[in-house]
Structures are given as structure tokens and as C-alpha cells.
Structure 1
Amino acid sequence: MRLLLRCDAGPSTGVGHAVRCAAVAEAALAAGHEVVWSGHLDGLDWLWGGLSPGGLPGTVLAPSDDAASLTAVAREVGADAVHVDHYLLGTDLRPALDAAGIVLSTVEDFATGRRPGDVVVDPNLGADTHPRPDDGSPVLLRGPRYAPLRVAAREARSVRNGAAPGEVARTATRPTGADGAGPAPGVGAEPRVLVVMGGTDAAGLLPRVVAALDATGAPAEVEVVVPAGRDLPLPGAGPARFRAIAPVSDLPAAMAGADLVISAAGTTVWELCCVGVPMALVRAADNQVEGYRAVVGAGAGLGLGGPGDVADTATAAATLRPLLTDPGLRASFAARARTVVDGRGAERIVSAVADAVHDRRKRDTEPSDAPTISARPATEADAELLLAWRNDPETRRWSRASEEVRPEQHRAWLRSSLERTDRLLLVVTDAGGPVGTVRWDREDDGWEVSITVAPDRRGAGSAGPLLAAGERALRERTGPGTSVIAVVHADNAASARLFARAGYTSSDGPDADGFATHRRRLA
């Protein structure tokens, strides 16, 4: 697959979009794909230097600012897919790219930057429970499971994990030199604080945060990441000692060696969560509001408010002081943050985009009169067919109840199922005949799905359309906004991929029997 990445970075837009795209580029290259860029990406040598294996991954072309020019560039470079992380491009991208046979992957932050796509990514905590209009996007990757992080973040997570609870990983490898953050911290009671307000500090927050830290009166070693070309006066006396440093190539490694990071509530938050670092967050822009609320509400970070709040030096200092003086409080924030992100979101995004490209190629080679798939309620006349599917060895292998069912048991079960109002049992067919069955069972927190592909239709790409037909039938019965659940065994990778591509997210690990619960909300 050849992937075209479209993003910008600069004083007004910040660098978060480029950082997210860089993580996707790393994952794509690691999976054997090719990468090309389009955008304003000057002054990011510090970012490229921190990537694996190092250097700018792929060619950078001039920015394409509308659907027609982006489609033309994608055709010119032979892209199979375009990944857009840009708020200002329009909602007409998907039709233009679709007409050219190109898959669109698009990133949104709740409603900001929202547009239809073949793959839609919203990496924010709580995104998977936020209602989203049904705009025809078939694959929704929502929640921090899909936060695209650089390889460096996972490496820093491992370093940090080697430390004792509540203590800094004193063996962390810290960058040094012109773009580094100094040597690894030594053992001592004073906390090591890292202040980073994005690659450009577009909101001008650094002077306010520095003033608040100085006003705490708490001893600390403070390193402030100052964007190129900025002059930031630092306090010269007081319990806290300040030092300005240039943007850091391997920021996650610097995080791993810090006792506290004060950051804008943008892309950096997900790296902080992955590494497992205590954080205090500033809501630097309007598009950060929902993510800021979710992280602070989950207890994964301390909220300092917006620019106006940190301008009140005394109040901001009073909020920060407990974090500087209480290692136990810092440890509690770090422990919660680490559970939010595992660092493999970029791999999941690339896998979903590659699957969409594969499906597109397959669809383009199918006859134009491909059969329409539809779901109908089961009847007692389906008893023999449903029993044969239920007792198929491959079906039973992944079922929570794996024993073979006797005919008389099945008939009684079917009669009972057809009478229940909390169960919807469907048979899905197309012009070629039965495709499989979908069953929905009403639980306390939503409708749980169980699907079975007819044995003679396996390997034909039927599972996705089967699930979609079942969802449409349930939506017709219950209306939009319905919460749906899938319980999948941890070893059943094919089913896990199926539900991930359909927009289901898993927030819990497998239970004692190896089953994990995946959730989504029908738009």
C-alpha cells in the first residue's frame, strides 16, 4: 500500500497533526508500506530526528488544500489511501477520492475536523461513547486505543515501567546536546519538572506557566521546552530552578525521566498517558476542550484550566503546589494515566486502512451487480439450518458454550427465542442464499451481538456485511443511539479485527475465561 499523509504544522496550527501523522508513517513503514506527505512541514527536524529509524519518513510534496488538488496529487503519486489530519479541509474529500478509487482515512477530535471517510479515527478518551451522526463512514476507530503514538512512546513506557511505584525511572536515557533535555535526573527530593506547551506554544502559555511554578514556592528542577525563535525570560532566584531547552527529538524519553510534566492538552497528552507520567494540563485551544475534560474527569491528569485560568498566577500556583510536594499524589495520577493508552494505536490505524484498501480493490474487481445482503427475522422453519450452523466445529470453537446442541434442545430454544422481546434473531441472506445469522440479546448496558457465518460462506469476506446487516435491522427496531456489545475471545483475532473495523472499541482486558468486551453506539 502507498499511503499519502496530509497535514500541516506551524505557528498557528501547532505540530500535533504532524506528530500524529509521523506515528502513522512509522507504523506504515514498519508494516512494509510506502509513505508520501503533502503539507506545510518546515522546521520539524527535531521531530524527524526522534523517529524510528530516524529522519523524515517519505517524500514531502506541496500542500493540497481542496478535494480536487488532493485527489490529483494522490493519483499522481499512485496512492492507494490518503490519511488526512487537518481540520480545515472539507467534507467533500471522500466522494472525490472514492471516484478515483482511493481510500480516505480521516482524523477528527470529537466534532472538530469531522468529515465522512472510509476509516474515521478519533483518538480521544470518551470518543467511543459520544454520539456521532451516521454519515456513511463504515469503519470508526474511536477512543485512545487508536491514539497514534511514536515508537519512542512505547520505548519510554518500558523504561518508566522499570521504576518503583511513584518513583522516577532513574535509569531513563535522556537526550543530550543542543536539542536535548540534559542528563538523567539524580536521586533527590526535589521533583524534576518538564514544561512543554506544544512545538510552537501557539497560545503563548509558557510565561504564565513559568510564573505559576515560580509562585508555588516549592523546590523543583524545571526544564522548559522553548520553541525556536522564542525569547522566554526565566526566574533567576527562588526555590525552583529553571532552565530553557530546545524542542526535544525524543520527547517521550524526556517524559520518562520526569517526576511531573506540565503540558498543553493536545497530542502530547496521549504520549504522557502511554509513558505513565504525572501531568498537569492546560486547555490551550477550543478543539482540546472535550479531550481535556475527559482526561481530567478520569483522574489521569490535573486540570489547570484554560489560558485565562493560568493567567491568575496565585490560583494556578495553589493548584500546582500539591503535585510538586506530594509524591503519592503524583503516583496516583500516573497509575491512572498509564491504563488509558497502550501505545499501539498507529499500528491499528494502519491495519484498518490496509484492510479498507484490500476491500476497495476487491470491490472494484467484483461485478457491478454484486448481490444485496439483507436480514430478516428467523422463523421455526429455520430450525434445521440454524442448528447445523450452531453445531459446526469452528462455530463451537469460539463460542462461550462450546458443547454440541441436540435437535430437541435447539427446537425448544428457537421457540423461546422467537417469543422473547429482549432477543432479536435474524437470518441474513443475499442473492446466493443464506450468509449466516445474527442474534441480539438485551443486556443491562446494551444489546449483545452473536454472529455466525454459514460454513460454506467463510473466507469470502461475508462477516463484515453480515454484521452490518444485523446492525441495520437492530437500528430499525430500537432507533439510533443504541449501545451494542460484542464479546470476543482473546485468541479469536479475526473476530477482534472484524469488530474493530466496524467501530467497536475494547476498554477492558479479557476476563478469566479469555473473553473481552467490545462496544460501540449505533448512529
Structure 2
Amino acid sequence: MVTLTICFRADASAAIGTGHVMRCLTLAGELARRGAQCLFAAAPGTEELVPALPYPVVPPERLPFGAALAVVDHYGIGAAEEARIRGMSRAVMVIDDLPTRRHHCDLLLDQTHGRRAGEYRDLVPHGGIVLAGADYALLRPQFAEARPASLARRDGSLRRILVSLGGTDPDNVTLRVLDAIAASGLEVAVDVVMGAKAPHLETVLARAAAMAGARVLVGTGDMAGLMAGADLAIGAGGTTTWERCCLGLPTLMLVIADNQKDVVRLVSGAGAALEATPATIAGQLRHLAARPPILLSLSKAAAGLCDGLGAARTADALRRLPSLKGLSP
């Protein structure tokens, strides 16, 4: 049996965070389970921010020739570069979050809730496959596994808050969130998740040390467990949005990058989260703590958006491409 080589083109940096690489890792894991051989083409510094990359990493200019599939998850790569990559590979898949630019690809994935395939009709080549919506959200298997217990334990109480604003948080929004939690006056446990290379890590560590019940977890490998054990998250509109939804975790959502505005609008509009800013958090926390039915409603709506099986659905769809018919079901 011929081994299918799949190359992922994604970067991580302090400015763009780790989300692109992390969701590619999820898909790589599913495809590897089905017999593919995966590797990453990534810019220098990516491995420092995502040190647990379990696949070979090559520089972007050494993208291998003849791969069965190249997966591009990069806002800085447009249709012209995708066409060049298509000339080197048998097929190209693009992961994007906004239907605002043209692509040269065989398959496009946009895992945003509420996104419709028709929004990309004029942005992909004729005959291109579009996977749209949170049914295709790329979540690691741990989230689907933790889902039943996480949903069962939710009772509307507010005892533990999870703060996670990306692996790098270059604008130090986490510090302002911790100040807001302290200002709320609530006696709650607080788990803060940050990457080891986050530029403001030391400042956040010092602030958390001054708060009763707060701790900072650096480079944790158990986000599913932390989310399942939390009663509320304070997070951004990035890739962890769908992890929180899968586990029915109510969220105060902040926009910390322009490309997150659409996600925050759609998720909050579905009743699965509340839009927030650092200035509103203290009041929102006091409001939620006194009204358990609101937290329960948010949890139920969030759980309805994503079931955690999107990576398998995406891999199934990729088998429709001629170059990937050899993938195991």
C-alpha cells in the first residue's frame, strides 16, 4: 500500500499565536490515524512556540514535491502562492475563517458556526469542495471523549473560571481580565492558561500570585480537562471557541484580533456566549453568579454548536479527492 504524504503549511509566532498550527495538528492526527504520513512546513520560531510538534518540520521553501495533499492554514498566503503549491502537490486544501479573499484549492474548510458553503461560491475554483460550519471544527479526540461528563456536571453554579486568551496574548489582555475578576469581588478559583513563550507571562504570574485561588498553567496538555472542570471561560474568538462549545462551557468572549469579530458575533448571537470587554467583565461575573439559569442556557446553546467530531468528518470529505482515495475510512 502506498503511503500518502500530507504537508501542512502553517506558522506560529508571538504576533499570530499558535491557533493555526494547533488546528492543523488536530487534522494531522486524524489523517495519520488513517495511514497518512504528515509533515509541517513552518517558519522559524514555530517549533519554539509549539514544542510538542510530533511530525517532521521543514522550512517553507522546502515544501516537498509530489505530496498527495498540501494543507494551507495561513492568512499571509493568497491564491497565487496556493497555485504555486498546487503545482507541486496533487491537491490543495485551504483552512480559512472569513469569505473575503480568493483561493486556489481543491477543498476549503471554514469551521465558523453559521458559515455557509455558498459564501465561498465565487472565491474557490469551479468544482471545489467547501466544508462550512462548526460541524467540521477541528478538535482533538480528547474533547469528544470529555463531552458527556462535562455536560452532565453543569448546574449553573460559578465556582471556577478558566482564562485562556491564546498561547501568546501579545497585548497582555490576560492581565486586564485578572484585574476585572478581582474587581468583581467573587470568591472563585481561577485557572489561567498561557504558552511558555508568552511575552507577558511574568507579569501575569505576579498578578495571579496576588489573587486568592488563582493559578497559572504554562503549556498545559490537558485543555479538555481544564475546560470540563470549569464553570465559565473568559476567552477569545479563536480556535478554542469550538473546544469550549463542545464541552458546553459558558463563555465571556473577547475580540482580541480583527478576524475574530465574525466568530464572536455569530457565537454570541446563537446564545452560546456573551460578548465582553475587560471593562464589562466584573459586572457580567456578578450578574452570572446570581443567575444560574443564564449559565445553564449558555451551556446548552454552546453544546448544540459543536460535537467534537469535525476532524473525522473533514477526513471523510478529503477521501472524495482523487489523490486521497487511499486514506483509510
**TM-score class normalised by the smaller sequence:** 0.7 to 0.9
Alignment deviations for residues 61-82 of structure 1 (CA, whole Å, 9 cap, x no partner): 11x2xxxx4xx6230xx41100
Q: Give SS of 2:230's match.
A: coil
Does residue 1:12 correspond to 2:15, yes or no? Answer: yes
Greater RCO, 1 or 2 (C-alpha within 8 Å, sep 6+): 2
- Give 2:254's aligned residue: 282
- Give 1:341's aligned residue: 306
Match for residue 110 of structure 1 among 89, 98, 106: 98
- Give 2:135's aligned residue: 145
Q: Which amino acid aligns with 2:149?
A: V
- Residue 154 of structure 1 and its aligned partner are, at CA, apart by 1.1
- Give 2:76's aligned residue: 88
Does residue 1:61 correspond to 2:26, yes or no? Answer: no
Query: CA 1:112–1:132 in structure 2 vs 1: closer, same or farther (change >3 Å)?
Result: closer
Q: Which amino acid aligns with 1:150?
A: R
Alignment deviations for residues 2-50 of structure 1 (CA, whole Å, 9 cap, x no partner): 110111112111011011101101110111111111113223457x3xx
- Residue 235 of structure 1 and its aligned partner are, at CA, apart by 5.9
- Residue 95 of structure 1 and its aligned partner are, at CA, apart by 3.0
> What is the distance in 2 between the residues matched to 1:140 and 1:129?
5
- Residue 129 of structure 1 and its aligned partner are, at CA, apart by 6.8
Query: CA 1:279–1:97 in structure 2 vs 1: closer, same or farther (change >3 Å)?
Result: same
> What is the distance in 1 between the residues matched to 2:113 and 2:303?
13
Q: Which amino acid aligns with 1:297?
A: G
Report the aligned-residue RMSD.
Answer: 2.5
Question: What's the TM-score, normalizing by structure 1?
Answer: 0.56
- Residue 123 of structure 1 and its aligned partner are, at CA, apart by 0.4
> What is the distance in 1 between the residues matched to 2:208 and 2:90?
54
> What is the distance in 2 between the residues matched to 1:131 and 1:226?
34
Does residue 1:74 correspond to 2:64, yes or no? Answer: yes
Query: CA 1:83–1:293 in structure 2 vs 1: closer, same or farther (change >3 Å)?
Result: same
- Give 2:48's aligned residue: 43
> What is the distance in 1 between the residues matched to 2:324 and 2:142?
32
- Residue 250 of structure 1 and its aligned partner are, at CA, apart by 1.6
- Residue 204 of structure 1 and its aligned partner are, at CA, apart by 1.8
Does residue 1:28 correspond to 2:31, yes or no? Answer: yes
Q: Which amino acid aligns with 2:39?
A: V
Q: Percent identity?
A: 32
> What is the distance in 1 between the residues matched to 2:238 and 2:131?
18
Q: Which amino acid aligns with 1:254?
A: L
- Give 2:181's aligned residue: 213
Q: After the TM superposition, which of the residue ranges 10-19 and 220-229 deviates more from structure 2?
A: 220-229
Counterparts of residues 431-470 of structure 1 (less than 5 Å): none
- Residue 237 of structure 1 and its aligned partner are, at CA, apart by 6.5
Match for residue 146 of structure 2 among 138, 156, 159: 156
Alignment deviations for residues 394-422 of structure 1 (CA, whole Å, 9 cap, x no partner): xxxxxxxxxxxxxxxxxxxxxxxxxxxxx
- Residue 225 of structure 1 and its aligned partner are, at CA, apart by 1.7
Counterparts of residues 87-486 of structure 1 (less than 5 Å): 87-100=75-88, 102-111=90-99, 115-128=103-116, 131-134=119-122, 135-136=124-125, 138-161=128-151, 163-166=152-155, 191-228=159-196, 230-231=201-202, 232=204, 233-234=206-207, 241-304=213-276, 309-310=277-278, 312=279, 315-358=280-323
Can you give the 5+ residue segments of structure 2 that lack an aligned partner in the other structure?
Answer: none
- Give 1:483's aligned residue: none
Q: Which amino acid aligns with 1:196?
A: S
> What is the distance in 2 between the residues matched to 1:237 and 1:58?
40
Q: Give SS of 2:77's match.
A: coil
- Residue 139 of structure 1 and its aligned partner are, at CA, apart by 0.2
> What is the distance in 1 between the residues matched to 2:106 and 2:121?
15
Question: What's the TM-score, normalizing by structure 2?
Answer: 0.87
> What is the distance in 1 between the residues matched to 2:92 and 2:309?
21
Q: Which amino acid aligns with 1:4?
A: C
Q: Which amino acid aligns with 2:92?
A: L
Q: Which amino acid aligns with 1:58?
A: Y
Q: Which amino acid aligns with 1:88?
A: G
Q: Give SS of 1:35's match.
A: strand
- Residue 125 of structure 1 and its aligned partner are, at CA, apart by 1.0
Residues 193, 258 of structure 1: 8 Å contact kept: yes
Q: After the TM superposition, which of the residue ranges 101-110 and 318-327 deviates more from structure 2?
A: 318-327
Residues 3, 82 of structure 1: 8 Å contact kept: yes
> What is the distance in 1 between the residues matched to 2:325 and 2:117?
28
- Residue 283 of structure 1 and its aligned partner are, at CA, apart by 0.6
Alignment deviations for residues 404-458 of structure 1 (CA, whole Å, 9 cap, x no partner): xxxxxxxxxxxxxxxxxxxxxxxxxxxxxxxxxxxxxxxxxxxxxxxxxxxxxxx
Count of matched residue positions in the alignment of Structure 1 and Structure 2: 315
